[in-house]
Every structure is written in C-alpha cells, then in structure tokens.
C-alpha cells in the first residue's frame, strides 16, 4: 500500500496563491507547532535522561518537583531564563551571541525536514538527505565560534576538539548515509521511507545495512558530542569545554540543542535504517503487514526514535570517554575505511540487484 504523502510545505503551497492571509496563518501555526514540539521534546528528553540515568545507577532521580519530579526541567528552564547572562570582558561579544544562534539554527533547520508521519513533515525537499547533512554542519560552526569567542583556554581547547571531532565523523556519517541513498535511489526523505515498504534497510541490504547502521550510530553519537565521545565538554578534562563561559539562557540554548540533536540523530537513524514511520513489513506477507498497519505511522516513528534515544542514553551511562587521539584513530583508521568498503559493496549489491525483496 502507499501512504498519502503531503507535507505541510506542500499544503501551504496549495493555499498560497489563493489567499495570502490563510497562508500566513498556516505558516504561523507551523512555527508554533514546531516550537511547541521542540520545547516539549527537549523538556521530556532532559527529564527522561535524568530519570533513566538515575535508574541505571540504582537511584531515583528528580523526585520532589511535581509528581516524581516531572516539573523539574520546567523549573530548570525557568531558572535559566532568570539567570544572569555574563559576557566575559575580553570576549568577542558579537560572536559570543551568534554562536548559540548557529548551534540552535542548525538543529532547528534539520528538524523541519524530518518525516515524522506521512503527513507530519514540515518540508519534504527532494535533496532531503543532503540538506540534513549540510545544515547540521552549522552546529559545528556554532561550537567553534562559541569556544573561540569566549576567550578562555579551556573553551578554545574544547572548541578545537569539538571541531576536529565533528567534522571527522561527518565523513563517516555521510558514507553510511550514502548506502541508504544507493539502495533507495533518492535523496528525498519521504522517498527513502517509502522505499522501505518491503523491509527496513538495516536488514534488507544484507550486511551492508547493519554495518552502515552501526557506523551511522557511532558517527552520529560523536557528532552530537555524547559519551563516549563527549570530549568537547569533558568535565574532568576541560572543565566545561566550549561552553565554559556561557551562562543563563545562552548556555541553555547549547544545552537544548544538544538534547534535540540527540532526537534528530535518533529520528534520522530510524528514518534511514528502520523505516521511519513505515510499519514493520516483511516482503509480501500481506496478513502480517496488515496487522502491522494497525499501529499508526506516527506511533511507529515515535517508538523507533525512542528506542534509538534509549540506546544512545544507554551508551552514555555505561561507557567511559575515549581519549582524543583514540577518537581520531577510530574515525580515520577504522570507521572510514570500513565505511568506504561498505559503500562499494553496497554499490555492487545495487548494481547486481542482489538484495532482499528487490523491486
């Protein structure tokens, strides 16, 4: 079966010639919806991280603000808003302000391209995958500028580490992503989801899919600076890394983008490798596929993303941090060659048509 795909952008486009006011209201509503979604996701993720971390560690986590601490992150957010915003004397004030904007914009712009369900996607670009990789590169500029403009040695060290780390791992992430592009033959994210109707790429593409999935997950975790790759802000080494001099709301923008980037990574992983909102379909077993279709696609997407987020959190609360040279070795000497070989093996698979349920 095929899903009725119509993104919000297209709907706005339909409205546009007729009545500019309807269209404007539609755009505004979209902005509101994305803001609400982002805020709620951010707050929920931070709360979930704290609770899950606590239970990994035999403790309870936030308990006293609201029922089982559910209002904890709201209190934190409000406090951060009411906290003083310090710009160090020797800092480059303009870039100091610009850095969180870039970091935040990089995250937000990726978010509008994510297909969360057949009709829940703000903009479905025909270069979707390329767009996501390109725009997420803004984040690294935010971190670099933030570290530089703070005029602090620890910040600068953290920024340099982060810069080198993120750009390095972007190479591997791109190679892993290309595997999926190869198999699905399109850059459009909705098209990639659509192409997984007969099975998810993670297992449909023989070993290539699972290797690409692993590489993408590792590289993605490194790109969003989470343990075991949290060298940019490794507390025990660089005090707070690139955001050492950031306080109040500006710090919270970094903080929020960090968590939402985790969501973006999980959503991208599930879109590319786990079929996005596509239910679990196995080939042409109509009965099984029919049963799976009962669960709405939005829920499928949420489930997969949640699972990925949980996995990333699990990594964080289990593993120690790598050393910076090991991190680089892992990327350039292990992941990159494997990724390259994997890409060409996949290309061979595509050319020979040798994968499960080939169309």
Site for other proteins in 237-256 (CB under 8 A): 237-240, 243-251, 253
CA–CA separation, 96 and 140 (whole Å): 14
Q: Of the two residues 243 and 281, which places its CB atom closer to other proteins in the complex?
A: 243
Q: Is 101 in the site for other proteins (CB under 8 A)?
A: yes
Q: Does 126 bind other proteins (CB under 8 A)?
A: yes
Contact with other proteins (CB under 8 A): which of 42, 62, 146, 220?
62
- Please count the CA atoms within 13 angstroms of the CA of 240 that sit on its side-chain side: 12
Among 145, 176, 208, 215, binds other proteins (CB under 8 A): 145
Nearer to other proteins, 77 or 266 (CB): 77
Which of residues 171, 198, 292, 338 is near other proteins by CB under 8 A?
171
Tokens 């992430």 map to which residue? 173
Handedness of CA 316, 320, 324, 328 (dihedral sign): negative
Cα–Cα dist 128/111, whole Å: 11
Query: From CA 87, how far away is CA 63, in angstroms rounded?
Result: 34
- 207 in helix, strand or coil? helix
Cα–Cα distance, 217 to 308 (Å, whole number):
9
Residue from 5, 48, 109, 198 binding other proteins (CB under 8 A): 109
Question: Under the criterion CB under 8 A, does residue 218 sit at the interface with other proteins?
Answer: no
Among 43, 114, 116, 135, binds other proteins (CB under 8 A): 135
Q: Would you count residue 215 as binding other proteins (CB under 8 A)? A: no
- Could you tell me which residues come within 8 angstroms of residue 288 by beta carbon, excluding any fewer than 6 positions away? 281, 282
Residues numbered 221-240 forming contacts with other proteins, rule: CB under 8 A: 227-228, 230-231, 234-240
Dihedral sign from CA coordinates of 327, 328, 333, 339: positive
Of 223 and 277, the one with the shorter C-beta distance to other proteins is 223
Answer for which of 119, 120, 197, 321 binds other proteins (CB under 8 A) is: 321
Residue by residue, DSSP assigns 104-124 as: HHHHHHHHTT---BTTB-S--
- Which of 41, 42, 45, 104 is the binder for other proteins (CB under 8 A)? 104
DSSP conformational letter for 189: H
CA–CA dist 179, 350 (Å, integer) = 10
- State the nearest-atom distance from the C-beta of 1 to other proteins, in Å: 24
The answer to whether the CB of 335 falls within 8 A of the CB of 172 is yes
178 in Cβ contact with 208 (< 8 Å): no
What is the closest distance, in whole angstroms, from the C-beta atom of residue 220 to other proteins in the complex?
16
Minimum separation from the CB atom of position 286 to other proteins (A): 27
CB of 201 to other proteins, least distance (A): 13
Q: With respect to other proteins, which residue has the nearer C-beta, 137 or 283?
A: 137
Closest to other proteins by CB, 136 or 279: 136
Which stretch, 271-279, 287-295, 296-304, 346-354, contacts other proteins (CB under 8 A)?
346-354
Nearest-angstrom CA–CA distance, 172 and 341: 12
C-alpha count within 13 angstroms, C-beta hemisphere, residue 131: 18
Binding to other proteins (CB under 8 A) within 254-313 occurs at none
Site for other proteins in 40-59 (CB under 8 A): 50, 52-59
């Amino acid at each position: 079966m095929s899903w009725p795909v119509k993104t919000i952008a297209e709907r706005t486009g339909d409205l546009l010639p007729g009545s500019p006011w309807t269209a404007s209201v539609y755009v505004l509503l979209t902005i509101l919806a994305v803001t609400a979604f982002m805020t709620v996701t951010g707050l929920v993720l931070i709360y979930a991280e704290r609770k899950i971390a606590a239970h990994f560690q035999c403790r309870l986590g936030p308990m006293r603000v609201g029922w089982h601490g559910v209002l904890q992150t709201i209190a934190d957010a409000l406090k951060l808003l009411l906290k003083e915003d310090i710009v160090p004397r020797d800092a480059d004030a303009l870039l100091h302000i610009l850095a969180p904007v870039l970091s935040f914009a990089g995250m937000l712009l990726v978010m509008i391209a994510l297909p969360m369900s057949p009709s829940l996607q703000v903009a479905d670009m025909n270069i979707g995958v390329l767009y996501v990789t390109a725009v997420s590169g803004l984040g690294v500029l935010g971190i670099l500028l933030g570290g530089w403009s703070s005029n602090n040695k620890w910040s600068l060290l953290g920024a340099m580490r982060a810069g080198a780390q993120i750009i390095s791992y972007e190479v591997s992430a791109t190679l892993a992503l290309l595997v999926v592009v190869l198999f699905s033959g399109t850059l459009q994210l909705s098209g990639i989801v659509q192409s997984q109707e007969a099975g998810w790429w993670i297992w449909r593409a023989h070993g290539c899919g699972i290797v690409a999935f692993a590489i993408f997950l590792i590289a993605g975790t490194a790109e969003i600076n989470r343990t075991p790759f949290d060298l940019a802000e490794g507390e025990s080494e660089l005090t707070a890394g690139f955001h050492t001099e950031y306080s109040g709301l500006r710090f919270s923008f970094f903080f929020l983008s960090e968590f939402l980037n985790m969501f973006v990574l999980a959503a991208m992983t599930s879109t590319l490798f786990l079929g996005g909102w596509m239910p679990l379909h196995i080939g042409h077993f109509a009965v099984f596929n029919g049963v799976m279709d009962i669960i709405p696609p939005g829920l499928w997407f949420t489930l997969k993303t949640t699972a990925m987020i949980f996995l990333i959190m699990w990594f964080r609360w289990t593993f120690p941090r790598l050393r910076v040279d090991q991190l680089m070795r892992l990327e350039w000497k292990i992941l990159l060659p494997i990724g390259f070989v994997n890409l060409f093996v996949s290309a061979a698979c595509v050319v020979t048509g040798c994968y499960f349920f080939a169309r």
